[in-house]
Chain A
Amino acid sequence: MHGDELPLFFYSDLFIKHPEVRDLFPVSMAAQRGHLVDALVKIVSQVDSVNDLTAFLQGLGRDHRKFGAVAEHYDAVGASLLATLEHFSGPAWTPELAADWQAAYELIGSVMTAAARADEELRPPWWRGTVVSYERRAFDVSVLFVRPEPRMGYLPGQSVAIESPSRPKLWRYYSMANAPRSDGLLEFHIRLIDGGAVSMALTSSSIADTELRLGPPVGALTLSEPVSDRDILLVAGSTGLAPLKAILDQVTALPQPPRVHLFFGARTADGLYDLDSLEKMAAQHPWLTITPAVSADSKFTGETGSLPDVVARHGDWSGHDAYLAGPTEMVQETVDRLASAGMAKDQIHIEDFGWSEP
Chain B
Amino acid sequence: MERALTTAWFNDEGRLTPEELQAVTFPMSRLGRRGYEEEPVQGFLSMVHAEFVRLVNERASLWQDVQRLRRRIIAGETDGDAHAVLFGKEDAHIHAVRILSTAQVTADRYVADAQAYSSRVTEEARLRRDDIMREAQQHSDMLLEEAHARAREAAVSALNVAAPPQTDRERRAAQAELAYLRTYSDVYRAHLRAYTEGILRGIEEWELKEAASVREAASVQEAASLQEAARGHTNRRSIGH
Does A8 touch B at the CB level, under 8 Å? yes
Q: Does B148 contact A (CB under 8 A)?
A: no
- Interface membership of chain A positions 78-96, coded 1 if the CB is closer than 8 angstroms to chain B and 0 otherwise: 0000000001001100000
Q: Is B217 an interface residue (CB 8 A)?
A: yes
A27 near B107 (CB under 8 angstroms)? yes
A28 at the interface (CB under 8 A from B): yes
Inter-subunit contact B119/A29 (CB<8 Å): no
B185, CB-defined interface residue at 8 Å? no
- Cβ contacts under 8 Å, A16 to chain B: 93, 96-97, 100, 235-236, 239
- Name the interface residues of B90-146: CB closer than 8 Å to any CB of A: 93-94, 96-98, 100-101, 104-105, 107-108, 111-112, 115-116, 118-120, 122-123, 126, 129, 137
Q: Which of A39-47, A67-75, A145-153, A191-199 contacts the other chain?
A: A191-199
Q: How far is the CA of A28 from the CA of B100 in the complex (A)?
A: 13
Query: Residue B196 at the A interface, CB < 8 A?
Result: no
Q: Which residues of B contact A200 (CB under 8 A)?
A: 118, 122, 214, 217
The reply to whether the CB of B64 lies closer than 8 angstroms to some CB of chain A is: yes
Task: Report the bound CA distance from A15 to B96 in whole Å.
Answer: 10
Q: A27-B107, A30-B108, A90-B67 are in contact. Are A194 and B123 (CB under 8 A)?
A: yes
Chain A: minimal CB distance from B181 (Å): 29
**A 1-35 contacts with B by CB, 8 A:** 8-9, 11-13, 15-16, 19, 22, 27-30
Most buried by B among A13, A91, A195, A204: A195
Chain B, interface SS category: helix
**A139 at the A/B interface (Cβ < 8 Å)?**
yes
A22 to B221: give the CA distance in the assembly, Å.
Answer: 17
Residues from 277 to 306 in A contacting B, C-beta threshold 8 Å: 299
Return chain A residues, CB-CB under 8 Å to B104. 8, 11-12, 29
Give the contacting residue for B224; candidates A27, A192, A204; CB below 8 A.
Answer: A27
CA distance A27 to B115 in the complex (A): 13
Which residues of chain B are near A197, meaning CB under 8 Å? 115, 221
Interchain CA distance A16-B93 in the complex, whole Å: 8
Known: A16-B100, A200-B118. A28 touches B93 (CB 8 A): no
CB distance from B90 to the nearest CB of A (A): 10
Any B CB within 8 A of the CB of A210: no
Residues of A within 8 A of B239 (CB): 16
Given known A12-B104, A13-B97, A194-B123, contact A28–B67 (CB-CB < 8 A): no
State the Cβ distance, B24 to closest chain A Cβ, in Å: 22
Complex-state Cα separation, A242 to B32, whole angstroms: 67
Distance in angstroms between the alpha carbons of A8 and B108 in the assembled complex: 11
CA distance A32 to B67 in the complex (A): 32
Q: For residue B116, give the distance in angstroms from its CB to the closest CB of chain A.
A: 6
Residue A231 is within 8 A (CB to CB) of chain B in the complex:
no
| Nearest chain A residue, comparing its CB with the CB of B111 | A28
Interface string of A177-202 (1 = CB under 8 A from B): 00000000000000010110100100
Residues of chain A from 195 to 238 with CB closer than 8 A to chain B in the complex: 195, 197, 200, 204
**Among B118, B211, B235, which residue has its beta carbon within 8 angstroms of that of A195?**
B118
A166 at the B interface (CB under 8 A): yes
A140 in contact (CB, < 8 A): yes
Interface membership of chain B positions 59-94, coded 1 if the CB is closer than 8 angstroms to chain A and 0 otherwise = 000011001000000000000000000000000011
Q: How far is the CA of A192 from the CA of B214 in the complex (A)?
A: 12
Closest Cβ of chain A to B223, distance in Å, is: 10
**Residue of B98, B111, B228, B232 with highest tally of chain A CB at under 10 A:** B111
Q: Quick one: which of B217, B228, B236 contacts A19, CB cutoff 8 A?
A: B236
B100 in contact with A27 (CB, 8 Å): no
Whose C-beta in chain A lies nearest to the C-beta of B93?
A16
- List the B side residues contacting A22 at CB < 8 Å: 232
Interface residue B174 (Cβ < 8 Å from any Cβ of A)? no
Interface set, chain B 190-230, CB cutoff 8 A to A: 211, 214, 217-218, 221, 224-225, 228
Residues of B near A12 (CB, < 8 A) are 96-98, 100-101, 104
Residues of A bordering B, CB below 8 Å? 8-9, 11-13, 15-16, 19, 22, 27-30, 87, 90-91, 139-140, 166, 192, 194-195, 197, 200, 204, 299
7 interchain residue pairs of minimum CB distance = A195-B119, A28-B111, A12-B100, A12-B97, A30-B108, A27-B225, A194-B119
Q: A139-B129, A200-B118 are in contact. List 5 more A-B contacts (CB 8 A).
A: A8-B101, A15-B100, A28-B112, A29-B108, A192-B122
